Amino acid sequence: MEDVMNESKRPRFTYLGHSTLRCDLPGGDVMLIDPWVNNPSCPEQLKQLERIDAMLITHGHFDHISDAVELAQRHHPGVVVANPEICHWLDSKGVENLREMNIGGEIEVLGCKVTMTWTLHSSGIVDGDQMVYGGNPGGFIVELPGGFTFYHVGDTDLFSDLQLIGELHQPDLVFMPIGDNYTMGPKRAAHACRLLNADKVVPIHWGTFPILTGTPDAFARQLADLGVDCELLIMQPGDVY
Ligand code: NI
Ligand code: MN
């Protein structure tokens, strides 16, 4: 019964490729996580958004932040959420309505509870020929009114705190990096699913570049081998769930 209630009050998710996720909330607001719509995988017709009400940025690497300034200037989102270092940099570029937070913090965004989580990664911002310090990289857990909870894990290796995060937040749906090289690959991502005890998982951060060799098929095999009770939802860039 609870699942049915949650399902009716969940966002409509559009996977824009790589780590970029468009979440249309039940009330009509649009939340964009990791604004890189001009990634090579994003279908052309989805690169133009008609509105952005909130933007969440996991970390400073170009493949997560590249279109943040341009999209903020075009759509004037009511809130742009990132760590203090990224907010400072965005402020220097003229982005308004910044809301800084850090790992472990929980804030309200568009009526949702947003928690910033830990990752095992790095976070530098390319600015001209400089690499600006981007603070600690993170992920986001978003809990909607009614309880539906999704987790954008961000870029990371496997870490055992995922078990605690799973216990605390019990995510219904997880967006998990599997591409390898810059993040964990399929085997470690399957273990991450085991620790999280998530209901459903969508693989992200794969296929964008040849160097990202982890595939959804390999991820499916690893989940099966481990016997993880987690439904795999494979979304191609442009797919809606
Ligand atoms: Ni990264
Ligand atoms: Mn990345």
Enter the tokens of residue 58.
């996991």
**Residue 204 pairs with which residues in a beta bridge?**
177
**Domain boundaries along the sequence of the chain:** 7-232
Mean pLDDT of 101-117: 98
Query: pLDDT confidence of 6, banded at 50, 70, 90?
Result: low
Question: Which ligand is closest in space to the CA of residue 209?
Answer: 2
Q: How far does the centroid of ligand 1 lie from the alpha carbon of residue 122, in Å?
A: 6
- Which H or E run includes 145? none
Round to whole Å and give the CA distance between 133 and 131: 7
CB atoms within 10 A of CB 63: 17
Question: Which ligand is closest in space to the CA of residue 204?
Answer: 2
Mean pLDDT of 219-239: 97
- Using alpha carbons, select from 79, 87, 88 the residue that is nearest to residue 107: 79
pLDDT of 7 over the 90 cut: no
Q: Domain 7-232 adopts which CATH fold?
A: Metallo-beta-lactamase; Chain A (3.60.15)
Q: How far does the centroid of ligand 1 lie from the alpha carbon of residue 37, in Å?
A: 16
Mean pLDDT of 208-235: 97
Q: How far does the centroid of ligand 1 lie from the alpha carbon of residue 60, in Å?
A: 7
pTM above 0.85, yes or no: yes
Give the per-residue pLDDT at 39. 98
List C-alpha distances in Å: 61 to 55, 98, 156, 168, 209. 16, 18, 12, 28, 15
Higher pLDDT, 198 or 217: 217
Query: pLDDT confidence of 132, banded at 50, 70, 90?
Result: very high
Q: How far does the centroid of ligand 2 lie from the alpha carbon of residue 185, in Å?
A: 13
Question: Which ligand is closest in space to the CA of residue 123?
Answer: 1
Task: For residue range 188-204, list pLDDT tens digits in order.
Answer: 999 999 999 989 999 99
Give the per-residue pLDDT at 1. 46
User: Which amino acid, one-letter code, is at 194?
Assistant: R
Q: How far does the centroid of ligand 1 lie from the alpha carbon of residue 184, in Å?
A: 11
List C-alpha distances in Å: 30 to 20, 22, 24, 56, 72. 13, 7, 5, 11, 13
Give the per-residue pLDDT at 51. 98
Give the per-residue pLDDT at 5. 52
